[in-house]
Structure 1
Amino acid sequence: MNSVRITKTQLKTLTEYLLQSKNESAVFLIAGYFRNSLGSHLVVRDIILPKNQDYDDRTEFHIQMSPVYFNKVISIAEANELTVIQCHSHPFPEKGLRYSPTDNFGEATSAKTIHECLNGKPMGSLLFGKNEVIGRIWLDNKNSPIDIEELRLVDRHLQIQKLVETKNSDKTIDKDLYDRQIQAFGIRGQKILSQLIVGVVGLGGTGSSIAEQLAREGIKNFILVDQDKFEISNLTRVYGSSIKDRGKNKVEIAEQNIKQICSDSVVQKIFANVISQKTLSDLKDCDVIFSCTDRHAPRSVLNELAYQYSIPTIDVGVGLDSNNEKILGGTVRATLLSPTLPCLYCTGILNSELILAESLSKEELESRKDEGYIQGLTDDVPSVIILTTLAASFGLLLMKDILFKVFDSKSSTVTLDISTFETSRLAASVQNDCVCKLRTAKGDYIPLSAP
């Protein structure tokens, strides 16, 4: 499913400019690019709006951009090691939007230039009519372009606009099975859930609960990641487990539980560390990812993945304070990571010093703790199923919000203070010098922090 990923604000800016005049208009976008097992994808980073002098010719049926403007766009893309999406409008047809022979010739020429100037990078194209959009990707300068099949709006919410009808779009829904849920989200909402690919990283207390609830909600496609085996102490929190599962891979327990709920589910199991290029490459197939790991380093790389590839990622966590006899306090939290929203570093949830500490040997770690250089890193922390399940539900509620706009709030974090039992929706600001700003929409053009 070839796509262009763009924020709602970017699309609004683009549409308003392209369709404001009775004459054709053009805009170039600076974008990242990546491939996954489903197709080719362009991720919009910047919009380069032309000025009137950037048009050499502009009429209702024809445009010619200035070479100076075109070269400026290529220079910006080259400086940022990104590529280009060429956009223009046909403001005249009400329906039946299509590329003209002149468009075909002009784009083939532009794609050849971009391929040569930007080290073989592909060029995207979007054509805007009054009521529809079509697009294509020129992968090289030798073959015909491939269709862009969907326009994906990714920011505080996720909206997938199909540009080309696919075989899966007419899948039937079991209305009896999902009756109560359809009453909440509608038949269209249930169809959206059934078509998603959802990743769950970490199948412990929160992750196993999320996996089970997703299966019951009608999610059919899963990518499950966990490198741990089931231990007897996990029995109190891991959904679908029994005492007989000791030594079994957690991903196998989760898959078995999902299949018991819905036998036709498709589950890809990854028994590996998420901090690897291979695992992260597999996760690029996901529409939504749940980060359910209790370590900082995996969270950090999933944080990168969310912004670099425009994949909404929901980080779920529980932090408890206890004296080994009583819970003294703590927090249950779920945070949405997505373009335009603050990341885990912006909000202070991630700490680079603790990421470094996780990589130290036991001896060096204890020495640093004794010297007071490291605080807040503990191997064995208290955990109870009522709170891990609550955190999972917070995460799932955020997922419903990004799909169906459940909240009347711009907040990207939901928290519960265990001491006061007060919930809050926190809003932080994106930090200009943060890693999320650097990585946003870069796709495969910057490596993830993994071997």
Structure 2
Amino acid sequence: MNKPIEVRIDRPLYQKLHQHLFPGDGDEHGAVIAAGIVETPRGIRLLAREVFLAQDGIDYVPGTRGYRALTAKFVAEISGYCAEQNLCYLAVHCHGGTDQVCFSADDMASHERGYPALLDITRGGPVGALVFAKNAVAGDIWTPSGRFSLDHMTIIGSHIRKLYPSPEPQSRPSDPMYDRHVRMFGDVGQEIFANLKVVIIGLGGGGSLINEWLSRLGVGHIVAIDFDRIDLTNLPRIVGATHWDAMSWLTKQPIPWLQKLGKQLAAHKVHVARRVAKQANSSIRYDAVVGNIVDEAIARLLIDADFLFLAADSMQSRLVFNALVHQYLIPGIQIGAKVSVNKQTRQVSDIFTATRPVLPYAYGGCLHCHELIPAARLQQEALSEQERRTQRYVEDEDIAQPSVITLNVNSADQAMNDFMMMFTGLYQPEVQLCHQLRFARERNIFNVEPCANDDCLDCSSSSRSRRARGDRYRLPCRMPNV
């Protein structure tokens, strides 16, 4: 196995660990991380779910063969817990230094003595060790198929940081095409974008804007997911869509069978998006997926993504998006625009757009905790069209909502700037990525106060939550047809 191994950890959990390891006394301290796991062609990710801090003098004591060590009792308790919860066991300690770190000979010898047994205790682990300096981390990871070094750690927050065992080599000069970008966030920032896998769910008005902007920003790999085709009413809103894509010359015919043929031959939205992206960046890797994120096979294409944009408007897509963010520690943003129309007067009553960052921890913007995935709407979407009409779940369900491209821009622009600033570290440390609502008629911007539910099955530390469990937990997708 030559796949890179990454540890992902959310910022609040990392801060808790870092403060324990580096309290200012210059001494060595210990802990254990319990982690989920996901393995894909891009590599292995170990997903930090919990941190167990070892108490000095009780759980972390002077060692017989090294400076200090976790006690046998502490190791037994935490490794047993990891086995019970189907989590990976990662022992942690710190060394001196700032930007470079490695294990000592005593450290490596202790791993060789203890980790084969821990692999058995944890039913195949993986198990391993991490050693930290203030701005660096190294890892020794043991799996049933062998022993491997950690490539890097990713810290997920308003600044998405990576820590390595030693400073990375200087970035290569960027393509001159990106000269104006490099003046803002340097060759390092441009290289970060080139190495990202970014997902867009929904390639309608908002998704098509994000698609073009990501391509022009220099993102190296885009996965676009949508099952729908272009129609005539999409042309004012979808970037790059043409009358030929919509087969307007057929769908405008008064003959029903020609109209039907035109709809069947119209281009899929993701194929239009791919064309637009390739025009902006011919070297981009682009996966145009005709499908629905609520299908498990489609959702699993996203589990190793670096960022998710949700620009689809169904509650089921929100449900799966929110689960992916928390289960696999993938940051994301949901966008949308809403124009309310009075049903009696048919006059516009309200216009607002939403940009909702969702980070994988409590108070990080969980859509469930903000009551944005109502159970009644999920139930309604699960019914067939006939069942919905029979139960009268929605009035005027065949009437499309008003939509204008400028409103899509209003939602998508903040999402794209959030994405750019998070990966380049340009946000000020005190910035909170709250959900943001913009009320167009009043010209007001409202930041929603973050909230969290202690029993949330997505973002909480509850024993039943999916947070950071990776492949050892089921996504809330539709069951495949057998």
Same fold per superposition (TM over 0.5): yes
For residue 85 of structure 1, what is the aligned residue in structure 2? Answer: 90
CA distance 1:182–1:308, change in 2 (3 Å): same
How far off is 1:379 after superposition?
A: 6.6
Equivalent-residue separation in structure 2 for 1:329 and 1:413 (angstroms): 19
CA distance 1:41–1:347, change in 2 (3 Å): same
For residue 201 of structure 1, what is the aligned residue in structure 2? Answer: 201
Equivalent-residue separation in structure 2 for 1:3 and 1:217 (angstroms): 25
For residue 30 of structure 1, what is the aligned residue in structure 2? Answer: 34
Equivalent-residue separation in structure 2 for 1:182 and 1:378 (angstroms): 48
For residue 472 of structure 2, what is the aligned residue in structure 1? Answer: 445
How far off is 1:383 after superposition?
A: 1.4
For residue 395 of structure 1, what is the aligned residue in structure 2? Answer: 415
For residue 215 of structure 2, what is the aligned residue in structure 1? Answer: 215
Deviations 1:3-45, CA, capped at 9 Å, x for gaps: 1111233323323333455554321111111112211111111
Amino acid at match of 2:75: F
2:130 aligns with one of 112, 126, 133: 126
Q: Secondary structure of the residue that 1:127 maps to in structure 2?
A: strand
For residue 358 of structure 2, what is the aligned residue in structure 1? Answer: 337
Q: Secondary structure of the residue that 1:415 maps to in structure 2?
A: strand
Amino acid at match of 1:336: P
Equivalent-residue separation in structure 1 for 2:123 and 2:396 (angstroms): 46
Q: Would you say the 8 A contact 2:135–2:163 is kept in 1?
A: no
2:17 aligns with one of 14, 18, 21: 14
Deviations 1:225-246, CA, capped at 9 Å, x for gaps: 1122222221121111101113
Equivalent-residue separation in structure 2 for 1:157 and 1:376 (angstroms): 43
Q: Would you say the 8 A contact 1:328–1:419 is kept in 2?
A: no
CA distance 1:275–1:311, change in 2 (3 Å): same
1:380 aligns with one of 370, 383, 400: 400
Q: Would you say the 8 A contact 2:311–2:335 is kept in 1?
A: yes
CA distance 1:334–1:86, change in 2 (3 Å): same
Deviations 1:241-294, CA, capped at 9 Å, x for gaps: 101113112111101111111111111221121123322222123211101111
1:418 maps to 2:440? yes
CA distance 1:63–1:206, change in 2 (3 Å): same
For residue 179 of structure 1, what is the aligned residue in structure 2? Answer: 179
How far off is 1:127 after superposition?
A: 1.1
Q: CA RMSD in A?
A: 2.6
Equivalent-residue separation in structure 1 for 2:181 and 2:473 (angstroms): 41
1:327 maps to 2:348? yes
For residue 155 of structure 1, what is the aligned residue in structure 2? Answer: 157
How far off is 1:376 after superposition?
A: 10
For this pair of structures, how many residues does the alignment match?
443
Q: Secondary structure of the residue that 1:35 maps to in structure 2?
A: strand
Q: Would you say the 8 A contact 1:410–1:427 is kept in 2?
A: no
- TM-score normalised according to structure 1 size: 0.90
How far off is 1:428 after superposition?
A: 2.1
- Identify the range of structure 1 (374-383 vs 254-263) with the bigger mean alpha-carbon deviation: 374-383
For residue 71 of structure 2, what is the aligned residue in structure 1? Answer: 66
For residue 433 of structure 1, what is the aligned residue in structure 2? Answer: 455
Q: Would you say the 8 A contact 2:357–2:434 is kept in 1?
A: yes
- Identify the range of structure 1 (93-102 vs 211-220) with the bigger mean alpha-carbon deviation: 93-102
How far off is 1:49 after superposition?
A: 1.1
Q: Would you say the 8 A contact 1:42–1:124 is kept in 2?
A: no
Equivalent-residue separation in structure 2 for 1:95 and 1:213 (angstroms): 34
CA distance 1:230–1:28, change in 2 (3 Å): same
Equivalent-residue separation in structure 1 for 2:401 and 2:158 (angstroms): 32
1:102 maps to 2:117? no
For residue 4 of structure 1, what is the aligned residue in structure 2? Answer: 7
For residue 293 of structure 1, what is the aligned residue in structure 2? Answer: 312
CA distance 1:449–1:203, change in 2 (3 Å): same
Deviations 1:316-363, CA, capped at 9 Å, x for gaps: 111111259653213201111112313111112221210111010112
Equivalent-residue separation in structure 2 for 1:181 and 1:95 (angstroms): 27
Q: Would you say the 8 A contact 1:354–1:377 is kept in 2?
A: no
Amino acid at match of 2:161: Q
Q: Would you say the 8 A contact 2:271–2:288 is kept in 1?
A: yes
Equivalent-residue separation in structure 2 for 1:331 and 1:80 (angstroms): 43
Amino acid at match of 1:238: I
CA distance 1:146–1:166, change in 2 (3 Å): farther
Deviations 1:134-189, CA, capped at 9 Å, x for gaps: 1132122x52x22211110102331223446789x7343134x3333334334433
Q: Would you say the 8 A contact 2:137–2:152 is kept in 1?
A: no
- Identify the range of structure 1 (177-186 vs 438-447) with the bigger mean alpha-carbon deviation: 177-186
Equivalent-residue separation in structure 2 for 1:378 and 1:85 (angstroms): 53
Equivalent-residue separation in structure 2 for 1:72 and 1:445 (angstroms): 21
Equivalent-residue separation in structure 2 for 1:22 and 1:54 (angstroms): 19
Q: Secondary structure of the residue that 1:136 maps to in structure 2?
A: strand
For residue 46 of structure 2, what is the aligned residue in structure 1? Answer: 42
Equivalent-residue separation in structure 1 for 2:156 and 2:7 (angstroms): 10
Equivalent-residue separation in structure 2 for 1:248 and 1:315 (angstroms): 25
Amino acid at match of 2:149: D
Q: Would you say the 8 A contact 2:203–2:225 is kept in 1?
A: yes
Q: Which runs of 5+ in 2 are unaligned?
A: 247-265
Equivalent-residue separation in structure 2 for 1:158 and 1:375 (angstroms): 43
CA distance 1:311–1:261, change in 2 (3 Å): same
For residue 292 of structure 2, what is the aligned residue in structure 1? Answer: 273
Amino acid at match of 2:234: N
Q: Which runs of 5+ in 1 are unaligned?
A: none
CA distance 1:394–1:15, change in 2 (3 Å): closer
Q: Would you say the 8 A contact 2:66–2:106 is kept in 1?
A: no
Percent same amino acid at aligned positions?
24
1:53 maps to 2:53? no
Amino acid at match of 2:448: L
